[in-house]
Chain A
Amino acid sequence: MEGLPASLADRLRELTYNERAVAYLQVDAALNLVGAGGHLENYGLAALRLGEPAVEQAFFLEGLLPLEETPFFVPSVELDCGRAADLHLHLDSGTVWVVLLDVTAHRDATRRLQQKAYEMTLLQEKEAQLNRRLEEMNRELEAANDFLVTISTKISHYLAPQIYKSIFSGQRDVTIQTERKELTIFFSDIKDFTATTEGLQPEEITLLLNEYFTEMAAIALKHGGTVDKFIGDALVIFFGDPETKGTVEDARACLHMAAEMQHRLAELNVKWRRAGTEHPFRVRMGVNTGFCNVGNFGSADRMDYTAIGAEVNLAARLQSIAEAGHIVISYETYALVRNIVAARALPQISVKGIKRAVVPYVVEGVLDEAGRKIEIFSEHMTGLDFYLDPRAVDATALERIRATLRNAIAALEAREDAAASVAPPEQDSSPSSAQAAGPDS
């Protein structure tokens, strides 16, 4: 203070003493409190006993005495009374002087700043932590999703694609629930399947059947049919649920599907025969249109999406009266598709559960979009491999084909004549003419 005018030095002394609430403690070498003064009450130190141990009365001194380093400073010490003080200790001739300067206001200001900074840091930490957690959850979700996709893809193979789609898109509820709907139902089976596959190993039969069903199901899907089930060598497909284009279009789609199946089957038979399978698959088909109950049947734990009712049974019955390679449809279906098929009525039949007289129609040809009859000629047996798709034949080859067929017929007739000369004439009931697996067969 020497450099200051006396008045200023006095003023500063006064300001410091009052504003900073200066107080002091004096501790002797025996660590007893021997003096105290200033604003002691500001620090809750009013009731001091001189001559007694200092640290028992001012416990903030615990550990600091005897003073190892002088001067020694502890900034911003909050005491019991709530005030904050800077503690300045120094040693002078064996006496430790403790000076307390009030810094409560400064402490509060610092705290406000510090608090904001820490809160900001905490928020950033929390944000970073949340982000890490989110990323972790995303990874877990992705893994769970991948798992679900894998599982649902596996499950999808057990369901008709339309059913799978409507369940997984959330349109369809998986509960036991059925509704009455007008469906066109298709039944097919392989005539004399057991005899046909006799001599084949189970593995070969499995391969053949799987290829046959895969091809047929793909055709069904292409035409919008719902593959209901595979029963042994039989196939059940319906049109009208879960997707429908209207009763007429559903029935037409079913007939187009049946025709395409026949064509594809003819091609498959050629292929299989070349691969050494002796007997071709000869398939009978039945189609009916009528009201059925369609939906989930079964128990809450295990249900099947299917259609039931007398009209479904009728489709099965029509299939059973069809010749191999033929499609038999009910009058109800025929009425819906008459402008795209050529068909001939069969004698009427009665079916259990159906009150009306049922008139079956055997389909003689399905017309393509241009109204042309679609014909495929296909016959395969010992001594004959015959497949003719007139639409696929090159125009320049027509004459050659005709000549071949003429020669073939001549050869057959010559064989017949020779046989007649050695045995009494008898009508051969086996299919020897160019029996087609196609709709006109």
Chain B
Amino acid sequence: MTAVLQKKVCMLGGFSVGKTSLVKRYVHSVFSESYLTTVGVKIDKKTVTLPDRIVNLILWDLAGEDDINSFRMTNLRGAAGYVLVADGTRPSTLDVALSLRQRVEADYGPLPFVLLLNKSDLAEQWAIGDADVAGLRQNGWWVQPSSARTGEGVDEAFKDLAVRAAG
């Protein structure tokens, strides 16, 4: 019988970058244009089938904070990895994501993570340069554009994270 693992994964990023939409796209394969801000945390489960095992990802979709200092770091307790999300049309959200990563690392050590530059479907408003992305990848990070609207990069990101989080 294939072993079933269960791993807690947190969604992290500034507000309105699309964390909830990415989870909805990933778990329910739907996308909604309307914006509904998350309060506290919303918990979802998604089963990922890997070649040698099955992983239940318990997705903690954490509210994006206006002020990252008010972010509750204790919500990451027990997380096996996290998805950092920035909005590719708002460069300031990349700064938020990067400082969140620093805080997580300071409190919990180097956890596996992926960095999604979301809303890649809004190409005309895209505001993050290729050079910046290349610079981030030089750290050995998994950085990809994604779109909860089209689904681009979504499954790959979660699957990659599931593999690494499951060890």
B15–A78 touching, CB < 8 Å: no
Asked if B49 is at the interface of the complex by the 8 Å CB criterion, the answer is no
B43–A79 touching, CB < 8 Å: yes
CA distance A63 to B80 in the complex (A): 8
Nearest B-chain residue to A133, judged by Cβ? B125
Asked if B106 is at the interface of the complex by the 8 Å CB criterion, the answer is no
A107–B45 touching, CB < 8 Å: no
A114-B39 contact in complex given A59-B6, A59-B58, A62-B8, C-beta closer than 8 Å: yes
Instruction: Enumerate chain A residues within 8 angstroms of B41, measured Cβ to Cβ.
Output: 74, 76-78
CA distance A217 to B41 in the complex (A): 82
Asked if A119 is at the interface of the complex by the 8 Å CB criterion, the answer is yes
A64–B77 touching, CB < 8 Å: yes
Asked if A399 is at the interface of the complex by the 8 Å CB criterion, the answer is no
Near A by CB (< 8 A), chain B positions 46-96 give 56, 58, 66, 72, 74-75, 77-80, 90, 92
Contact with A along B1-26 (1 / 0, CB 8 A): 00000111000000110000000000
B39–A76 touching, CB < 8 Å: yes
Contact with A along B148-159 (1 / 0, CB 8 A): 000000000000
Asked if B37 is at the interface of the complex by the 8 Å CB criterion, the answer is yes
- B149 CB to nearest chain A CB (Å): 17
A118–B77 touching, CB < 8 Å: no
Near B by CB (< 8 A), chain A positions 66-89 give 68-69, 72, 74-80, 84
- B139 CB to nearest chain A CB (Å): 26
Asked if A117 is at the interface of the complex by the 8 Å CB criterion, the answer is yes
Instruction: Enumerate chain B residues within 8 angstroms of A121, measured Cβ to Cβ.
Output: 15, 66
B15–A62 touching, CB < 8 Å: no
Question: Which 5 residue pairs are nearest across A and B when measured between Cβ atoms?
Answer: A63-B78, A76-B40, A63-B8, A78-B42, A62-B58
Cβ 8 A contact of B37, one of A60, A72, A118: A118
21 A–B contact pairs at CB < 8 A?
A59-B45, A59-B58, A60-B43, A60-B58, A63-B80, A64-B78, A72-B74, A74-B41, A77-B42, A77-B43, A78-B40, A78-B41, A111-B36, A114-B39, A115-B35, A117-B66, A118-B15, A118-B35, A121-B66, A122-B16, A125-B90
Instruction: Enumerate chain B residues within 8 angstroms of A80, measured Cβ to Cβ.
Output: 43-45
Instruction: Enumerate chain A residues within 8 angstroms of B6, measured Cβ to Cβ.
Output: 55-56, 59, 62
Interface size classification for chain A? 20 to 34
A111–B75 touching, CB < 8 Å: no
Near B by CB (< 8 A), chain A positions 170-204 give none
Cβ 8 A contact of A68, one of B7, B58, B66, B77: B77
Instruction: Enumerate chain B residues within 8 angstroms of A65, measured Cβ to Cβ.
Output: 78
CA distance A240 to B40 in the complex (A): 81
CA distance A129 to B90 in the complex (A): 9
Cβ 8 A contact of A107, one of B39, B66, B74, B75: B39
Instruction: Enumerate chain A residues within 8 angstroms of B40, measured Cβ to Cβ.
Output: 74-78, 84, 107
Contact with B along A103-123 (1 / 0, CB 8 A): 000010011001101110110
Cβ 8 A contact of B43, one of A78, A107, A114, A119: A78
CA distance A398 to B75 in the complex (A): 111
Q: Total number of A-B contacts with CB less than 8 angstroms?
A: 77
A62-B7 contact in complex given A72-B74, A117-B66, A122-B16, C-beta closer than 8 Å: yes
CA distance A84 to B61 in the complex (A): 13
Nearest B-chain residue to A114, judged by Cβ? B37
Kindly name the residue among B6, B37, B77 whose own CB sees the greatest number of chain A CB atoms within 10 A. Answer: B37
Q: 15 new A-B pairs (CB below 8 Å) besides A62-B58, A117-B66?
A: A62-B8, A72-B74, A72-B77, A75-B72, A76-B40, A76-B41, A78-B43, A80-B43, A80-B45, A107-B39, A114-B39, A115-B35, A118-B16, A118-B37, A129-B90
Instruction: Enumerate chain B residues within 8 angstroms of A84, measured Cβ to Cβ.
Output: 39-40
Near B by CB (< 8 A), chain A positions 34-69 give 55-56, 59-60, 62-65, 68-69
Nearest A-chain residue to B75, judged by Cβ? A74
- A38 CB to nearest chain B CB (Å): 19
Instruction: Enumerate chain A residues within 8 angstroms of B77, measured Cβ to Cβ.
Output: 63-64, 68-69, 72
Near A by CB (< 8 A), chain B positions 117-148 give 127
CA distance A59 to B8 in the complex (A): 9
CA distance A79 to B42 in the complex (A): 6
Instruction: Enumerate chain A residues within 8 angstroms of B75, measured Cβ to Cβ.
Output: 74
B43–A63 touching, CB < 8 Å: no
Nearest B-chain residue to A86, judged by Cβ? B40
Instruction: Enumerate chain A residues within 8 angstroms of B78, measured Cβ to Cβ.
Output: 62-65
CA distance A7 to B150 in the complex (A): 59
Cβ 8 A contact of B39, one of A74, A111, A129: A111
- B5 CB to nearest chain A CB (Å): 10
CA distance A283 to B154 in the complex (A): 85
A63–B79 touching, CB < 8 Å: yes
Instruction: Enumerate chain A residues within 8 angstroms of B36, measured Cβ to Cβ.
Output: 111, 115
Nearest A-chain residue to B80, judged by Cβ? A63
- A134 CB to nearest chain B CB (Å): 14
CA distance A68 to B76 in the complex (A): 13
Instruction: Enumerate chain B residues within 8 angstroms of A62, measured Cβ to Cβ.
Output: 6-8, 58, 78
- A102 CB to nearest chain B CB (Å): 13
Nearest A-chain residue to B42, judged by Cβ? A78
- A23 CB to nearest chain B CB (Å): 16
- B24 CB to nearest chain A CB (Å): 13
Instruction: Enumerate chain A residues within 8 angstroms of B39, measured Cβ to Cβ.
Output: 76, 84, 107, 110-111, 114
CA distance A76 to B40 in the complex (A): 5
A59–B43 touching, CB < 8 Å: yes
CA distance A118 to B17 in the complex (A): 11
Nearest A-chain residue to B8, judged by Cβ? A63
CA distance A322 to B146 in the complex (A): 84
